[in-house]
Amino acid sequence: LREVERLQAAAPRALEPATAWGWPQTLAHCAQSIEFSVHGFPRPKSALFQNTAGAAAFRVFAWRGRMRHSLTEPIPGAPPLDAPAPDAAAALARLRAAVQVFAAHTGPLQPHFAYGELSKAQYEQAHAMHLADHLSAFDI
């Protein structure tokens, strides 16, 4: 969140053609991912995919300490991102709230739509890598 807030204060702009989403839409997308880890993803991939290709992809990302994925692909089944997106302050507030709910959550987490079952520490790593990948599409 510190990096997101630093970028927010510096008026980030999207790098072309890294992403078609603006800053507020990107923050909302990242908030969705964190929210779904607690409440459940709307359209998960098959258990076979999660336990094979999905789990392998997460292991590679975790080993590298970073991920690369499409920066314009929505989470399967997620509500569409507003276009135009809500203002950046509202999107940042949503992301902060999602992080706080995730941090305070003590129950079981929901399987990731692609990676399957993740521990809280693995989810923290997945969320951090997801945010970092999306933040790489912006400059100040």
pLDDT in tens, 46-66: 999 999 999 999 999 999 999
Q: How confident is the model at residue 19 (pLDDT cuts 50, 70, 90)?
A: confident
Q: 86: exposed, middle or buried (C-beta count within 10 Å: 0-12, 13-18, 19+)?
A: middle
Q: What is the mean pLDDT of residues 63-88?
A: 87
What does the DSSP assignment read for 105-140? --SPPPPBTTTB---HHHHHHHHHHHHHHHHTTEE-
pTM over 0.85: yes
Task: Say whether 84 sits in a helix, a strand or coil.
Answer: coil
* Residue-wise pLDDT tens digits, 80-131: 887 665 688 899 999 999 999 999 999 999 999 999 999 999 999 999 999 9
Task: Say whether 47 sits in a helix, a strand or coil.
Answer: helix
Q: What is the mean pLDDT of residues 22-41?
A: 95
Q: Answer whether 26's CB lies under 8 Å from 137's CB.
A: yes
Calculate the average pLDDT of the chain. Answer: 91
Whether residue 23 has pLDDT greater than 60: yes
pLDDT for position 8: 82
